[in-house]
Amino acid sequence: MFRVETVKEGPLAERGAIAQVHLTGGRTVLQSKPHLYALAQAQRTQRCFSCLKETPNLQRCSACKAIYFCDKKCQAAAWPAHKQSCPYLTKLPDKKVPATVLLLTEALLKRKAELAAAGSAAAMDALQNHRDHISEEQKTAFMAFLYTTNKFMQANPVDDMTPSYDLLCRISTNSFNLCDHELQNIGTALYLDVAMFNHSCDPNCVAVFGHGTQMLVRTLKPVQKGEELCISYIDLLQTRQARRAQLKATYFFDCECTACQLATTEAQDREYLMRSILCDNKKCEEPVALAEDNSVARACCNGCSDARPHPDFGSQCLGRLKQARQAVESYKADKDKWLPLEKELQALCGTLFETHVDLINLLHDVMDACILNTDFDKAYAYGVQSARGASRVVGPVYAPLGIQYYKLGKLARFLEKRVEACQHLDIAHNILSIAYGKDHPFVAQLRDIRNEARTELAMTGDGSSSSS
């Protein structure tokens, strides 16, 4: 379906995945098992190490007593991945080991076995390491991990740190966040074949998780024969400047994709909307975009000619956003701290256009905070506002937005907003059936919930929907 070949010549030559045939949207082009993976420390007692499900009455490994499984079947399936670190975990009294240390331990032992068997380069040696681009701060952190790994592997200490450092650089640059079906980060994993896919901020493919640790690469839209298949390495709900900065800091390249070059009208419109504030003329409903330095890009908006926002407006917004984020954290810790947060939200919603990316992300965080504090009416209201803005600045198939509409559908059902519940779940299903696939277990679960919501709506006639 695709082949890996050189897509960029020269000293910074790159390989990429090239489609060998025409591909329709919503098609799986790769199913991949991780070369190595580790659950985050907080997740190890909550999830099965094999299928990653959160299941009650998990059974822990009888040897190390640090890793848990659903049953013996799951334990047997995951033994090839667990057997590398199990002997070392057995010797630790507290069992607290960072995921990076477990990954590096497994990588070192796998590489040693591969070199012994093949007598040549190991599989991970083909990955880029970017060791010359690592910052001094990252080097310090890496050396701390190497020291901890060396101490962890006391039965087989690593005398020469150079191969270990090189391997850690490869893992850091090429690994993926291990996520559940609701895109919550639960660990780290390395997929050798998925690492061959390059990044685009306007991707034609998406990397998602299937059953357990399996990763799927699926097309988001039609792809022509000979076209490069690209995924996104980062969250795309960011401005061009923020995306490029994150890619440079983490993956050491300057993104020149069509979205970052603003090569299309669609890309230009999305960027404009993601940086937009409300017009100073309260009768005008047109957005006014801030420049990348947060100054006002235009003296007036497209809708009127006399609106002139204050030149410090952008920096004032940033200060207010910082205060609002602090208020969200205070509210999470104490539900009685809602009024200070509400005050900040009212100010920002009266300042920023609904598509401003910082407002979208803030309102999403407010939704999650309200769910945490069981204030479901507020969670729903702010979640709808966030989703409405996001839907205008991301592509038609954006998995995080599909997950948000899934949550909104469940909230609406609980609040007996039956019409809205069906609408949100329909949107979620439309997005995720392409991103995840119609046969994906999460999509099947979503379909069941949607059918139940439709039945509830039918039983109440017109749904007696309340306003949102």
pLDDT tens per residue, range 241-274: 999 999 999 999 999 999 999 999 999 999 999 9
SS3 content of the chain, % helix, strand, coil (to 5): 45, 15, 40
CB of 444 closer than 8 Å to CB of 181: no
> What SS3 state is found at 290?
strand
State how far the Cα of 406 lies from the Cα of 424, in Å rounded to an integer.
Answer: 7
State how far the Cα of 447 lies from the Cα of 231, in Å rounded to an integer.
Answer: 26
Q: What is the pLDDT of residue 248?
A: 94
CA distances from 248 to 173, 241, 244, 251 (A): 11, 11, 6, 6
CA 12 to chain centre: 27
Q: What is the pTM of this model?
A: 0.90
Q: Which residues of the chain have pLDDT under 50?
A: 155, 298-299, 464-468
Q: What is the pLDDT of residue 466?
A: 42
CA 99, 100, 105, 110 torsion: positive or negative?
A: positive
H helix or E strand, kind and range, residue 246: helix 240-251
Q: What's the CA dihedral at 247, 234, 382, 468 to 10 degrees? A: 130
pLDDT digits (tens, 9 = 90+) for 82-129: 988 899 899 888 778 889 999 999 998 888 888 888 766 678 988 888
Q: What is the pLDDT of residue 465?
A: 45
C-alpha closest to that of 425 among 400, 443, 440: 443
CA 43 to chain centre: 17
Q: What is the pLDDT of residue 158?
A: 52
Amino acid present at 284: C
Query: Which residue in this structure is represented by tokens 């409405």?
Result: 388
Continuous H helices in 334-440:
338-349, 357-372, 376-390, 399-414, 418-435
